Amino acid sequence: MQKENSEPTLNRSLGFWSALSLVVGTVIGSGIFFKQSSVLDSAGSTANALLAWFLGGLITLTAGLTIAEVGAQMPHTGGLYVYMEKIYGKIWGFLSGWMQIAVYGPAIIASIAAYLGILLVGFFDLSSRWQAPLAIGVIALIGLLNAFENRWGAAFQIITTLGKLLPIIAIIIFGLFFGDQNAFGQTLHSVSQSTGNFGVAVLATLFAYDGWILVANLGGEIKNPQKLLPQAIIFGISLVLIAYTLVSYGVLHFLPAEKIHQLGQQTTVYFANAAFGKIGGRLLNIGIIVSMVGCLNGKIMTFPRIIYAMAEQKQLPFSKQFSYLTRNSHEPVVATVAILVYASIMILFFNPDRLSDLCIFTVYCFYVAAFIGVFILRKRNKDQLRPFSTPGFPVTPLVAILGALFVIVSEIGSDLPGVILSLVIVAVGVPLYFYKLRQNRQ
């Protein structure tokens, strides 16, 4: 599709399977493989740990059902940025986009890539000085892939999503049929009450479920988005919920709770070695590497779309460059290169994990606003036919709102300095917004 002046536009070529793989692929990274011990430690018992994984998925599903109604009414490139702008006004849309492109997006890409670099160094038995170059090399290669038509990145996402499901299926099957522990009846005695509680366990799972909303950034590239976007979000989150709960059950059914506590982040690797031998551990590492590469691909596909959407509105410095699309592939290559260079700098000079943590508070503030937006849109457009309606309204969006508020309150209680700093980062966007607004008027 071309504009009247023959300038290229984004290709609306992504189907259901591409959108579904993006939801699953951007959620399932390394969390399910490495958070078993931390969730169990906080929950205090295997039954509570399983309940935490299930409840976290259920809260996430209510969020997905709520956003599906909003997204079906606004099937445009930019996702949350577009929702906030359409519901609350341009400045709120800008601030939600600014927060995602200034720190959150590049920091998440840097964080995953940095950890992937550590895994690759260990897998190939290399010196630690190769961690940063490997991390940057991987995101550069994925960025190069996404310089071609979006169907190539989507195809790669489907392949990596299928690849990451293999170790998950193996863990589930072996745990279910060869484990002999009581997955519902073990209590963790070696952990003091100060290590956490059930709420902390649920919070950990919510972070493991996060990322599903990024598929909405590609709303302008999905075929029939009013229908396919809600389907991809709902089926994708449901699939992840089932996978996460069954993996946790498989691990808890195979290993004693005290052993999981002792193993910490090495629980899943130990599980693979015990179940399938040393080669099993190697294969699991390959599965985790594939999982993280797929997760990176999903984020590298989606975050530059926010830059592109904001640049289209002339809200950023160098908007002309950031809104550039190649004539052959119709991809926002300048926006992609910019976010990857930024992420590479973070890998080299900062702690990207800390930077991404700083924006969790503000991300969830915008989530709450988007969930409330369902009520606003129903009142504002009460006579209009909705392409998708949230089942169980108003209970479903209320649960989503309460879940997001739980994360916000938890962040304030656990990291007040980080919360303040994240608000400062968002506030920096206010003068930039008004500067660009005045410049555009002139």
In the 8-state DSSP scheme, what is residue 163? H
Taking the C-alpha atoms of residue 408 and residue 359, their distance in angstroms, rounded to an integer, is 11
What pLDDT, on the 0 to 100 scale, is given for residue 190?
53
What pLDDT, on the 0 to 100 scale, is given for residue 6?
57
Per the CB < 8 A criterion, the answer to whether 427 and 105 are in contact is no
All structural domains of the chain, each given as residue ranges with its CATH number in brackets, are 16-441 (1.20.1740.10)
What does pTM read for this prediction?
A: 0.87
What pLDDT, on the 0 to 100 scale, is given for residue 194?
42
Burial (CB count within 10 angstroms: exposed 0-12, middle 13-18, buried 19+), residue 177? exposed
Per the CB < 8 A criterion, the answer to whether 80 and 318 are in contact is no
Per the CB < 8 A criterion, the answer to whether 161 and 172 are in contact is no
The full DSSP string for 291-320 is HHHHHHHHHHHHHHHHHHHHHHTT-STTHH
What pLDDT, on the 0 to 100 scale, is given for residue 196?
56
Residues of the chain with pLDDT under 50: 1-4, 191-194
